[in-house]
Amino acid sequence: MSIMILLEAACFLIAFITLKREASWAWRGMVIFLLITCITEITGKFLKSVYHNNQWVYNIFFLFELGFTSTMFNHIFSKYINSKLLIICSFGLLITLYVYDIISHGFLVYIDLSATVMAVVFVLYSFYYFYLLIKDDHYVDLKRSAAFWWVAGVLFYYFGSTAVNLFFVYLKNVRMFGHNVTHFIFMALSFILYSCWGYSFICRKWHTTSNS
């Protein structure tokens, strides 16, 4: 079993334990999303070893990633603004790019353009959240802020992913311990993402318990 699957499984377990009775359907949806993520990773690893082509699995996963992450941002933004129009317009743009990618390259080739633009959109969402957070006059204990840690994980992961994609032409020939260096970069980014998310789920549980 790969380290990536273990990271995802650990985050799913934390989400299941802490969010299974969560009142917010957006937060509770993270349990489903992480389960789908684990299934996708296991399926992709199997298909790569047997059929040497698993990219179509991640093309399907893109839709879940876009849907669940956009929903969470809409929920987090709702504390400050009505973001439905922003989220819907961005969602529509990304779906259009997704269809263009599929038509242009076929379903068996990974949708690089859509994934890159989605990463940029999520980075911009993250910066916008921090802008709204700074403007907020109310005191926020960042150590216990579920939204802060969830967005922090998204920012680190998708900003790092975008940087890797931009410099991929220079990184693709760099190898370490039998793997391309990007393998270790994405492993580190995934560790940061799932660590931040796991902690955000715990913070959300603390918040729910204290309110009760």
How many domains in the chain?
A: 1
pLDDT tens-place string over residues 85-139? 999 999 999 999 999 999 999 999 999 899 999 999 999 999 999 999 999 888 8
| Cα(92)–Cα(106) distance, integer angstroms | 20
**pLDDT on residue 31:** 97
- What residue numbers bound the domain in which 204 lies? 3-211
- Ranges of the chain whose pLDDT falls below 70: 1, 168-172, 176-179, 209-212
Res 33: pLDDT: 97
* pLDDT value for 65: 97
Six token digits for residue 48: 């790569």
179 — phi, psi (to 5°)? -125, 155
What would the DSSP string read from start to end of 98-149?
HHHHHHHH-TTS--HHHHHHHHHHHHHHHHHHHHHHHH--S---GGG-HHHH
Question: Residue 176: phi, psi to the nearest 5?
Answer: -140, 130
Query: Residue 177's pLDDT is what?
Result: 64
Rounded Cα gap, residues 168 and 139, in angstroms: 41
Q: What is the per-residue pLDDT for 164? A: 84
At 67 the three-state DSSP class reads: helix
Q: pLDDT value at position 195?
A: 97
Contact 72, 30 (CB under 8 A): yes
Q: How many Å is the Cα radius of gyration of the chain? A: 18
Give the integer Cα–Cα distance in Å for 112 and 145. 33
Count CB neighbours of 97 within 10 A.
17
CA torsion angle 42 46 48 53 (round to 10)? -90
Cβ neighbours of 94 (radius 10 Å): 20
Is 121:70 a contact under the CB 8 Å cutoff?
no
